[in-house]
């Protein structure tokens, strides 16, 4: 055996196992705690960029079931909404 080398079969494969997807509410909580603008991958609306303040408001106001049914307009801050 050569020294200074690690065999290819040591460790874990990057593709093994299943990855759990975050719910909308969990992702909004992450964005709210990060204090930065983040991207939410909504199952019906697609990718939405959302501010941390608005993410915090949505988490406090809506349940997971209602978050799925919201319109894209409600994910934007109040000052940026177009009528």
Domain ranges for the chain, please list them.
Answer: 24-72
- Name residues whose C-beta falls within 8 Å of residue 43's C-beta, 6 or more positions apart in sequence: 24, 68
Q: Quick one: tokens of 50? A: 């959302």
pLDDT of residue 19: 74
- pLDDT attached to residue 11: 66
Mean pLDDT per 10-residue section of the chain, whose length is 83 residues = 63 67 91 92 91 93 92 81 55
What tokens appear for 62 in the block?
A: 């809506």
Whole-number pLDDT of residue 3: 66
φ, ψ of residue 41 in degrees (nearest 5): -100, 95
User: What is the model's pLDDT at position 15?
Assistant: 64
Helix (H, G, I), strand (E, B) or coil at 49: strand
Q: Residue 35's pLDDT is what? A: 87
CA-only gyration radius of the chain, Å: 19
Which parts of 8-45 are beta strand (E)?
Answer: 38-42
pTM metric for this prediction? 0.71
């Amino acid at each position: 055996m050569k020294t200074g080398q690690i065999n290819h079969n040591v460790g874990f494969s990057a593709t093994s196992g299943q990855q759990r997807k975050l719910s909308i509410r969990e992702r909004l909580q992450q964005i709210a705690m990060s204090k930065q603008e983040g991207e939410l991958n909504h199952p019906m609306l697609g990718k939405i960029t959302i501010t941390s303040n608005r993410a915090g408001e949505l988490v406090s106001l809506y349940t997971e079931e209602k978050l799925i049914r919201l319109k894209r307009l409600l994910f934007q801050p109040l000052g940026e909404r177009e009528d």
